[in-house]
Chains A and B, each alone.
Chain A
Amino acid sequence: MAIPEVEITRFDNRGAPGYTAEACRKLGLCGEAAPFFMDKTGGLMQTIERECPPPRRRFFLLRSPTRDILQFLLLIAALVWLLLLGASRSGYKWEWYRVPRYILGVVEGRLTAGPLLQGLGLTLKISGISLVLAFAIGLLTALLRLSDSLVGRAVARAYLEVIRNTPMLVQLFVIYFILGPILGIERFLSAVLALSLFEGAYASEVFRAGIVSIDKGQWQACYSLGLSVTDTYRFVILPQAIRRILPPLTSQAVSLIKDSSLVSMVSLTDLTLQAGIVVSETFLPFEIWFTTAAMYLVVTVTLSTVVNRMERRFRIAG
């Protein structure tokens, strides 16, 4: 049956007043989505609509950004004012010009890393190794907790409870002062071990959540195709789970980098310890600690940004 194209300007006969073209537009029933209406004689009609207007853009085009910029500047000004006030109250004399040499210095005519940059190097080294280990431990623990093995589940559970219910600093001391001499582990290794064990416990919960979030149908399909449990994890479950847990894994990595500052407690000259040393040499606590915080910030923000990009690239198509 051909449908007469009539622009509806009257009510339909279903007793619903207001189904005029205007109402259709308001209800978003434009174009192809428009339903067929019966007119009073019982004939079918389809609404024909003029093109819908483009969607309204909020904020960016309709509102001038001046207000946002102004707010931002005000916020910065307030922070700076607070800082300067604090400094002047305590009679602090800013000496920013003395800071750069502690980051990059010229020794015997050659550009060399200052103590802060050296410290950052160690921080990155410890964090990098610990990160790999922590994720490996985390994945293993998650798989153990989800396995059929009673012993495996018990071991994983015990590890999680111990790690999550004691302070990391205490764990570091236990490993460094007690396990270190017994097992002959030196300083650097103790720190890496403590950090990976600590973060691994949290990472395992993230992995577990990611794995159990994958639809059971995926397991069933793999089972019926004859795939082994290992292959199912490797080719089907983990690739999907890891895409899903990238954001919480990243924040776990950021935590790890921040928590790595605790290794200064066993006299590893990481960024934090180096900063402390520089402060005690120069009496520039404000400048040095701000610089140190900024250096941590650069590392963590860079990491987050890179992972964010990756996440967008690996997003499942469709």
Chain B
Amino acid sequence: MAEKTLGDYIITVKEVCKTFPGGITAVRNFSTDIRRSEVLVIMGPSGSGKSTLLRCLNGLEERDSGQIVVDGIPLDENKRNRLEIRKEVGMVFQSFNLFPHLTVAENVNLAQQRVRRKSREEAMAMTRDMLAKVGILNKIDAYPAQLSGGQQQRVAIARALAMMPKVMLFDEPTSALDPEMIGEVLDVMKNLAREGMTMVVVTHEMGFAREVSDWVIFMDEGQIVETGTAEHFFTAPQEERTKLFLSQIL
């Protein structure tokens, strides 16, 4: 990824804490900065707070303290700021979360028409482009239940991309997929990374991390344990917890 030039900071996270009502602290004093066009992979054992952190980035999860600024807009109580961030940050979920009662086209059109205030025709043009991009244009009139998991996840990516987000968050996008479908979703994500999309990806796919990530955060107990390039994690992890974790997933 040497040819890619990284821009200014698009997301700054400062001392973010999140404790769940049950008393479990998911994110502890977490700070990091993410540059434009950067691909950041977050890894860590389950329960290490990586998904919670990701959800804090667009306000889906309410943090207890700390600051988050996305593209110059502070994520705070102000509803207009929050809406702006929700529009600019796309999110892809482990369980796809497509709307089952709507066709693929309607799934991708909905937010464009209601949030971006596009006409049906304008939305449809974008929808076609995005579905072509994720290689699933032929399923435009299908319902989600008629698609395989990999196809559903690609529609979910197209749905998020159709909003022209500046940042894409991926919350374990391949964890709910059958092994033979992981590749097709990762390929779409790799292309996206090459086009310069800023991406924050929670995943255990080391191959993906190695190929496209600019850097990797290893998290445990809500904190950063170790950071570095994917290569660093492959060849010379420093912390014991990192080594243990990697030995289990590789």
Interface residues of A (CB under 8 A from B): 215, 217-218, 220-228, 231, 235-236, 239-240, 243, 316-318
Query: Given contacts A225-B110, A227-B114, are A240 and B86 in contact (CB under 8 A)?
Result: no
Query: Given contacts A231-B114, A240-B100, are A318 and B144 in contact (CB under 8 A)?
Result: yes
User: B60 — which chain A residues lie within 8 A by C-beta?
Assistant: 220, 223-224
In contact, B114 and A223 (Cβ under 8 angstroms):
no
Interface residues of A: mostly helix, strand, loop or mixed? helix
In contact, B146 and A317 (Cβ under 8 angstroms):
yes
In contact, A217 and B93 (Cβ under 8 angstroms):
yes
- Residues of chain B in range 79-106 having any CB-CB distance to chain A below 8 Å: 83, 86-87, 89-91, 93, 95-101
User: B90 — which chain A residues lie within 8 A by C-beta?
Assistant: 224
Whether B163 is near chain A, meaning CB under 8 Å from some CB there, is: yes
User: A240 — which chain B residues lie within 8 A by C-beta?
Assistant: 99-101
User: A236 — which chain B residues lie within 8 A by C-beta?
Assistant: 99, 110
A216 closest partner in B (C-beta): B97
In contact, B160 and A316 (Cβ under 8 angstroms):
no
In contact, A235 and B115 (Cβ under 8 angstroms):
no
Least CB distance from B99 to A in Å reads 5
The 9 closest A-B pairs by CB, nearest first: A318-B145, A224-B91, A225-B111, A217-B97, A221-B97, A317-B143, A226-B87, A226-B115, A226-B86
In contact, A218 and B99 (Cβ under 8 angstroms):
yes
Query: Given contacts A218-B99, A224-B60, A226-B86, are A318 and B160 in contact (CB under 8 A)?
Result: no
In contact, B160 and A225 (Cβ under 8 angstroms):
yes
User: A218 — which chain B residues lie within 8 A by C-beta?
Assistant: 97, 99
In contact, B58 and A224 (Cβ under 8 angstroms):
yes
In contact, B93 and A225 (Cβ under 8 angstroms):
no
User: B111 — which chain A residues lie within 8 A by C-beta?
Assistant: 222, 225-227
User: A316 — which chain B residues lie within 8 A by C-beta?
Assistant: 100-101, 143, 145
**A163 vs B90: C-alpha distance in the bound complex, in angstroms?**
45
User: A226 — which chain B residues lie within 8 A by C-beta?
Assistant: 83, 86-87, 111, 115, 163
Q: Chain B contact residues (Cβ within 8 angstroms of A): what range?
A: 20 to 34
B91 closest partner in A (C-beta): A224
Q: How many cross-chain pairs have Cβ atoms below 8 Å apart between A and B?
A: 73
Interface residues of B (CB under 8 A from A): 58-60, 83, 86-87, 89-91, 93, 95-101, 110-111, 114-115, 143-146, 156, 159-160, 163, 169
Beyond A226-B111, A227-B110, 4 additional pairs, beta carbon < 8 A: A225-B86, A226-B86, A316-B143, A317-B143
**A220 vs B86: C-alpha distance in the bound complex, in angstroms?**
11
In contact, B97 and A318 (Cβ under 8 angstroms):
no
**A239 vs B100: C-alpha distance in the bound complex, in angstroms?**
10
For B89, give its contact among A220, A224, A239, A318 (CB under 8 Å).
Answer: A224
Least CB distance from B71 to A in Å reads 14
**A316 vs B115: C-alpha distance in the bound complex, in angstroms?**
25
In contact, A220 and B97 (Cβ under 8 angstroms):
yes
Least CB distance from B163 to A in Å reads 6
User: A225 — which chain B residues lie within 8 A by C-beta?
Assistant: 86, 110-111, 115, 159-160, 163
**A318 vs B97: C-alpha distance in the bound complex, in angstroms?**
16
In contact, B145 and A243 (Cβ under 8 angstroms):
no
User: B100 — which chain A residues lie within 8 A by C-beta?
Assistant: 240, 316, 318
User: B156 — which chain A residues lie within 8 A by C-beta?
Assistant: 221
User: B93 — which chain A residues lie within 8 A by C-beta?
Assistant: 217, 220-221
Least CB distance from B69 to A in Å reads 18
Least CB distance from A220 to B in Å reads 6
A236 closest partner in B (C-beta): B99
In contact, B145 and A227 (Cβ under 8 angstroms):
no
**A225 vs B114: C-alpha distance in the bound complex, in angstroms?**
10
User: B101 — which chain A residues lie within 8 A by C-beta?
Assistant: 239-240, 243, 316
B110 closest partner in A (C-beta): A235
In contact, B99 and A318 (Cβ under 8 angstroms):
no
Least CB distance from A88 to B in Å reads 58
User: A215 — which chain B residues lie within 8 A by C-beta?
Assistant: 97
**A239 vs B146: C-alpha distance in the bound complex, in angstroms?**
19
A234 closest partner in B (C-beta): B114
23 A-B pairs with C-beta separation under 8 A = A215-B97, A217-B96, A218-B97, A220-B91, A220-B93, A221-B93, A223-B59, A223-B60, A223-B86, A224-B89, A224-B90, A224-B91, A224-B169, A225-B111, A226-B87, A228-B114, A316-B100, A316-B101, A316-B143, A316-B145, A317-B143, A318-B143, A318-B145
**A215 vs B101: C-alpha distance in the bound complex, in angstroms?**
13
Least CB distance from A190 to B in Å reads 39
B169 closest partner in A (C-beta): A224
Query: Given contacts A217-B97, A235-B114, A240-B100, are A224 and B145 in contact (CB under 8 A)?
Result: no
**A4 vs B133: C-alpha distance in the bound complex, in angstroms?**
43
**A317 vs B101: C-alpha distance in the bound complex, in angstroms?**
7
Interface centre among A215, A221, A227, A318 (most CB of B within 10 A): A221
**A243 vs B83: C-alpha distance in the bound complex, in angstroms?**
30
B147 closest partner in A (C-beta): A318
User: B114 — which chain A residues lie within 8 A by C-beta?
Assistant: 227-228, 231, 235
**A228 vs B115: C-alpha distance in the bound complex, in angstroms?**
8
Least CB distance from A245 to B in Å reads 14
**A243 vs B95: C-alpha distance in the bound complex, in angstroms?**
22
